[in-house]
Amino acid sequence: MLPPPPRQRGRQASRIGAALTAVPAPGIFIATAVSTYMGAGFAVGLFGVMPPATVAWWRVTIGTLVLLAWRRPWRPRKDGRAWTRRVLGVSAAFGVATATMNVLFYASISYLPMGTAVSLEFLGPVIVAVVTGRGWRPRVAAGLAMAGVASISGVGLDLSDPAHRMGMILAIGAGSSWAGYILLGRKVATGGAGMDALAVGTAAGALFYTPLAATTASGAFSSAGTALAVLGVAVLSTVIPYALDQINLGRLSADTFSLLASLMPATSMVVGIVMLRQMPNFGELAGLILVSFAVALAGRS
C-alpha cells in the first residue's frame, strides 16, 4: 500500500493535534508522565554501559532525529511566516535548557535516589509558579504541590556525604533548567512555529552537548539490546513527552503548567500501585492528597 500524499498526511496530523487539544490538561500530563517513567526504566539500565550524561545526550539526539524527520523544519512554515533570528534564538535557548535539564537530572540520580532528586528538581516549577502566579491561589497551590511531591518522593539527604552534596547541587541545577524549559517552552509553543521550533530547539541542545558525550557515545552500540534501549529512552522520554508538553504550554499559563507538573511524580506512584502492586505508605498517600488539592487549586484558574 502506498503512503498517503503530503496534503493528506498534513490533514491527518491536524486531526490528531485537534483531538489531543480536546484532552483536558491533566490527562496530557498523566500521559506525559507514563511515557517519561517508562523511558526512565530503560535509562537506569544503561548507566552501567555509559555515563548518565551520555545517556541523556543520546536521549536528546535520537529524539532530535525523530523530530527532524517528522517535522522537516527547513520547509516553508505552515503559517506562511519565515524563520526570524528571534524565533531561532528562542528555540535554540529552549533546546539547550531542555538538554541541560536532562543531563543534570540523569547525573543527579547517579548520586541520589530518584525520589530525592525528583523532589529537589521540582523546586524549579514551584519557583516559576510563585513568581509568575497572580494572587494567593497559585502560591498556596505551589506550597501544597511541593509538600506533596516531597512526601511522595521522599527527601532523604545526608549533607555530610559528599555524594549527596554533589547530587543535591546537580538536582537543583536540573530544577533551574526545568524552570527555563517552562518559561522558554511557552514562548516556543505560542510563537507560531510550534512543533517545528521544538525540532530546531532539540537539535541545538544535542549539538551543544556533543563535546561532552563524544568520547563515550559509542557505548550505545555495544549490543543490539543496548541500542534498542537507547532508542526506547529517546522516543518515550523525549519525542512523546515534549510533543505533548507543547500542547499544554500553548494553552496554560506558566504557573498553572508548573503546578500541574506535580501530577508526574503522583502518576508514577499510581502506576506502581496498578501495574506492580506496590502499595503506598502513609507519606505517599498524604502526598497524593496534597498534589490533588494543588491541582484542584491550579485548575480553578
DSSP 186-250: HHHHHSS-THHHHHHHHHHHHHHTHHHHTTTGGGGGS-HHHHHHHHHHHIIIIIHHHHHHHHHHT
Instruction: Indicate the SS3 state at residue 23.
Output: coil
| Short-list 295, 299, 287, CA closest to 261 | 295
Euclidean distance between CA atoms 275 and 174, whole angstroms? 29
Angle at 200 between CA 199 and CA 202, to 5 degrees: 65
Rounded to the nearest angstrom, the gap between the alpha carbon of residue 59 and the centroid of all alpha carbons in its chain is 12
Task: Identify the pLDDT of residue 97.
Answer: 96
Task: Identify the pLDDT of residue 49.
Answer: 92
For the chain, the average pLDDT equals 83
Task: Identify the pLDDT of residue 113.
Answer: 77
Residue pointed to by grid coordinates 502499595: 279
Euclidean distance between CA atoms 95 and 210, whole angstroms? 13
Residue pointed to by grid coordinates 534498542: 228
Measured over the CA atoms of residue 12, residue 14, residue 18 and residue 20, the dihedral's sign is positive
Residues of the chain with pLDDT under 50: 1-3, 6, 9-10, 12
Rounded to the nearest angstrom, the gap between the alpha carbon of residue 228 and the centroid of all alpha carbons in its chain is 21
Task: Identify the pLDDT of residue 11.
Answer: 53
Task: Identify the pLDDT of residue 147.
Answer: 87
pTM: 0.81
Task: Identify the pLDDT of residue 256.
Answer: 86
* Angle between helix 85-108 and helix 114-121 axes, rounded to 10 deg: 140
